[in-house]
Amino acid sequence: MENKLDFTQRRVLVTAGAAGIGLAIATAFKDLGASVFVTDINPAAVEAARKAGFAAAVSDVSDESQVIELAATVSKELGGLDVLVNNAGIAGPTGPVETLDAEAWKATFDVNVHGQFYCIKHLLPLLRKGSEASIVNLSSAAGRLGMAGRSPYSASKWAVIGLTKTLSIELGDERIRVNAICPGAVNGPRIEAVIKAKADMLDRPLEEVSNLYHRQSSLNQLAEPGDIADMAVFLSSSLARSVNGQAMAVDGNTEKLY
Ligand code: NAD
With the most atoms of ligand 1 within 8 angstroms of its CB, the residue from 186, 198, 214, 221 to mutate is 186
Task: Supply the residue whose CA is at minimum distance from atom 32 of ligand 1.
Answer: 89
Domain boundaries, the chain: 11-250
Average pLDDT over residues 71-97: 98
Look at the alpha carbons of 240, 124, 108, 44 in this order and tell me if their dihedral is positive or negative.
positive
- Determine if ligand 1 sits within 6 Å of the CB of residue 62: yes
Q: Is 92 in the pocket of ligand 1 (CB under 6 A)?
A: no
Confidence of residue 100 (pLDDT cuts 50, 70, 90): very high
Grade residue 31 by pLDDT with cuts at 50, 70 and 90: very high
| DSSP codes, the chain | ---TT--TT-EEEEETTTSHHHHHHHHHHHHTT-EEEEEES-HHHHHHHHHTT-EEEE--TT-HHHHHHHHHHHHHHHSS-SEEEE--------S-GGG--HHHHHHHHIIIIIHHHHHHHHHHHHHHHSSS-EEEEE--GGGTS--TT-HHHHHHHHHHHHHHHHHHHHHHTTT-EEEEEEE-SBSSHHHHHHHHHHHHHHT--HHHHHHHHHHTBTTSSPBPHHHHHHHHHHHHSGGGTT--S-EEEESSSB----
Cα→Cα distances 75→16, 54, 133, 210, 234, Å: 18, 15, 15, 43, 24
**Ligand 1, atom 10, residue with closest C-alpha:** 16
Q: Is residue 1 over pLDDT 90?
A: no
Atom 27, ligand 1: residue with shortest CA distance: 21
Q: What is the pLDDT of residue 169?
A: 98
Q: Which fold has domain 11-250?
A: Rossmann fold (3.40.50)
Atom of ligand 1 nearest to the CA of 86: 32
pLDDT tens for 179-192 read: 999 999 999 999 99
Whether residue 118 lies in the annotated active site: no
- As a whole number, mean pLDDT of residues 118-136 equals 98
How many whole angstroms from 23 Cα to the centroid of ligand 1?
Answer: 10
Whole-number mean pLDDT of the chain? 97
Give the distance (Å) from ligand 1 centre to CA of residue 215.
22
- Report whether pLDDT(112) > 90: yes
Going by C-beta distance under 8 Å and a sequence separation of 6 or more, which residues neighbour residue 111? Answer: 61, 62, 88, 89, 90
pLDDT of residue 129 exceeding 90: yes
pLDDT in tens, 143-179: 999 999 999 999 999 999 999 999 999 999 999 999 9
What spacing in Å lies between the alpha carbon of 226 and ligand 1's midpoint? Answer: 14
Measure 21 CA to ligand 1 centroid, in angstroms. 7
The yes-or-no verdict on residue 42 having pLDDT over 90 is yes
